[in-house]
A and B are shown apart, each in its own frame.
Chain A
Amino acid sequence: MTALLSVTALDAFYGDFQALFGINLELGEGEAVAVIGANGAGKSTLLKSLAGLVRNRPDAVRLAGRQIGDGPAASIVRLGLALVPEGRQLFPSLTVEENLLIGAFGGERTSPWNLASVYQMFPVLQERRRSSVTVLSGGQQQMVAIGRALMSNPSVLLCDEISLGLAPIIVEDIYRMLPRIRDNGTGIVVVEQDIARALRSTDRFYCLQEGRVTLTGRAADASHDAIHAAYFGT
């Protein structure tokens, strides 16, 4: 079986600075994996490389067998890989509904995710559909960011720090939606600071330290000591 997403020996650079070294990662249909690691370990760079915001060798990233490592971001989302960026990054000039609609800009698929199904998952967004996104609460903004990414009906969804700056109860609400997204066969990569939170919602994990994968395994079997060692490198 070919993996939905496979990353092979990915090296990522910002100019002369190498941020990632030989990363290997696989994601299956409907699977969720966590990428954990300290600040500056390269988690966000990894997601940016997958989404095409950082360019790489064509064969470093394959989506359903197709090489996308060097693709521009605008084409990659059309091929079925969507990113929920860190810090939400909504468009302040657009209303809630327009932010959702722009997520479907490049897509031809309109199911399972469309305005109706996103509103069904996050009813509060329907009530506020004509509001500017700047007046929403942090949790509501995160819902818009996730809904916006889902509107392209991705086969792979990347979530960068979706719990950042949110109250724990709101974080739980948002994580509760992940199984529903996976039910449609969408694979999810979660980057998260909160290790316990990430491991509870995923099948497998990858631990990054200084741009390298230092530990990988099943989330349920993860031992505290092994993660501690892989995380801090001690």
Chain B
Amino acid sequence: MIGLDSVIEGVLLGGVYALFALGLSLIFGIMRLVNLAHGDLILLAAYLALSVTTTLNIPLAVATLLIVAVMFVAGYALQRLVLERVLGDDILPPLLVTFGLSIVIQNGLLLAYGADSRRLQAGAFESSSVTLADGLNVGLAPLAALLTAIAAVALLQLIFYRTALGRAFRATADNPQIAQLMGINERSVYAIAVGMSVAVSVIAAITFGIRANFDPSIGPARLLYAFEAVIIGGLGSLWGTLAGGIVLGLAQTIGARVNPEWQILTGHLAFLVVLMVRPRGLFPSRRP
């Protein structure tokens, strides 16, 4: 019997997947760039968090803010120094470059940290739970991940639809040449977008690193979940990406409840079913 508890567990897991996917969705929506190194950038952030918390011995919350800032700058530089050179009408060069970047990050992490799996320490936070109803307990860390995902979508949505920067993002996505006529510097808009994408991934890295073990090789699998969440939700829609993450989380949890070996399989099956029924995803953007 699939109970309410597995539904809740699935939704909470979906929060983590949505966080994986948000950064990917963001830069795809603005620049039509598919970043194959996205999963490895998440892992890079997780290892940074590990180093900062263990060697500098500062609390995870402070470390998170620090790493968000560092990774934003890294993302900005990545766009200006590397990706900008290959962005153009041909979609293949940026794919190849991010694929290469993925391999570089994986091997860099392997050299620096070894192949052992690690976990972020969040003290009592990771094992404590809240009681929603009689006999229905929810882990605080997964709940925080979901709430963070919702907050992140709401914040990005606010930036997109209520600020001058957001208008510049959308205008550049519509027509980069005409956007320049408005005084918008396309190169810095793209660099800010990549910076934001990587910064959001830090949040994903921390929430993931608290609840599961990670090692340098698992980046591509996170990328796959992120991709599936983006496609299920519909390209170009941030709330859709959140919904996509939740669908994926639900499918995996329910599948695991039926048979523990089916967890990954049912997630992928749900993805295929959505592709068959709604090829443009659940909430495709209205853009013509």
Residues of A within 8 A of B164 (CB): 101-102, 105
B220 to chain A, nearest CB (A): 32
List A contacts of B182 (CB < 8 A).
74, 77, 102-103, 105-106, 148, 152
Q: Please state if A106 and B184 are interface contacts (CB–CB under 8 Å).
A: yes
Q: Say yes or no: A73-B181 contact (C-beta < 8 A), given A92-B287, A134-B288.
A: yes
Per-residue CB contact flags for chain B residues 169-186 toward chain A (1 = under 8 Å, else 0) read: 011011101111111111
Given contacts A51-B181, A53-B180, contact A74 B186 (CB under 8 A): yes
Count of chain A to chain B residue pairs whose CB atoms are closer than 8 Å in the complex:
71
Q: Does the CB pair B168–A102 fall under 8 Å? A: yes
Contacts of A94 in B (CB 8 A): 167, 170-171, 174
Interchain CB contact under 8 A, B170 and A93: yes
Measured in the bound complex, the distance between the Cα atoms of B177 and A105 in whole Å is: 15
Which B residues are CB-close (under 8 A) to A102?
164, 167-168, 171, 179, 182, 184
Chain B's nearest CB lies how many Å from the CB of A90?
8
Q: How far is the CA of A130 from the CA of B168 in the complex (A)?
A: 18
- Which residues of A sit under 8 angstroms from B181, Cβ to Cβ? 51, 53, 73, 77, 82-83, 85
Q: Knowing A94-B170, A102-B167, A102-B168 are in contact, say whether A152-B183 is a contact too (CB < 8 A).
A: yes
**CB pair A105 B288 closer than 8 Å:** no
Interface flag for A91 (CB, 8 Å) = yes
- Which residues of B lie under 8 Å from residue A106 when comparing CB positions? 182-184
Restricting to A83-115, which residues have a CB under 8 Å from any CB of B? 83, 85, 89, 91-94, 98, 101-103, 105-107
Chain B residues, Cβ within 8 Å of A152 = 182-183
Q: Which residues of A contact B185 (CB under 8 A)?
A: 72, 74
Please name all residues of chain A whose beta carbon is closer than 8 Å to the beta carbon of B186 when the two chains form the complex: 74
Complex formed: what's the CA distance from A53 to B184 in Å?
A: 13
A interface residue count range (under 10 / 10 to 19 / 20 to 34 / 35 or more): 20 to 34
**Does A78 lie at the interface of the complex (its beta carbon under 8 Å from any beta carbon of B)?**
yes
Smallest CB separation, B16 vs chain A (Å): 29
B191 to chain A, nearest CB (A): 14
Q: Are A91 and B170 in contact (CB under 8 A)?
A: yes
Verify A91–B178 contact, CB threshold 8 A: yes
Bound CA span A85–B181, Å: 9
Chain B residues near A98: list those with CB within 8 A: 167, 170
- The verdict on A91 contacting B177 (CB below 8 Å), with A105-B168, A105-B184 known, is no
Pick from B170, B174, B175, B180: contact of A73, CB below 8 A. B180
In the complex, are the beta carbons of B183 and A74 less than 8 A apart?
A: yes
A92 pairs with B183, CB closer than 8 A = no
Cβ 8 A contact of B178, one of A52, A89, A101: A89
In the complex the two chains form, what is the Cα distance from A142 to B178 in whole Å? 15
Interface residues of B (CB under 8 A from A): 164, 167-168, 170-171, 173-175, 177-186, 287-288
11 example contacts (A-B, Cβ-Cβ < 8 A) are as follows: A74-B180, A74-B184, A74-B186, A89-B178, A91-B174, A92-B287, A93-B171, A98-B167, A101-B167, A105-B184, A107-B183
Closest 9 CB pairs of A and B: A106-B183, A73-B180, A77-B183, A91-B174, A93-B170, A91-B171, A89-B178, A74-B185, A74-B180
Chain A residues within 8 Å of B, Cβ to Cβ? 51-53, 72-75, 77-78, 82-83, 85, 89, 91-94, 98, 101-103, 105-107, 134, 148, 152
16 more A-B residue pairs beyond the given contacts A85-B181, A101-B167, A107-B183, with a C-beta to C-beta distance below 8 A: A52-B180, A73-B177, A74-B183, A78-B183, A82-B181, A89-B178, A91-B175, A93-B173, A93-B174, A94-B170, A98-B167, A102-B168, A103-B182, A105-B184, A106-B184, A152-B182
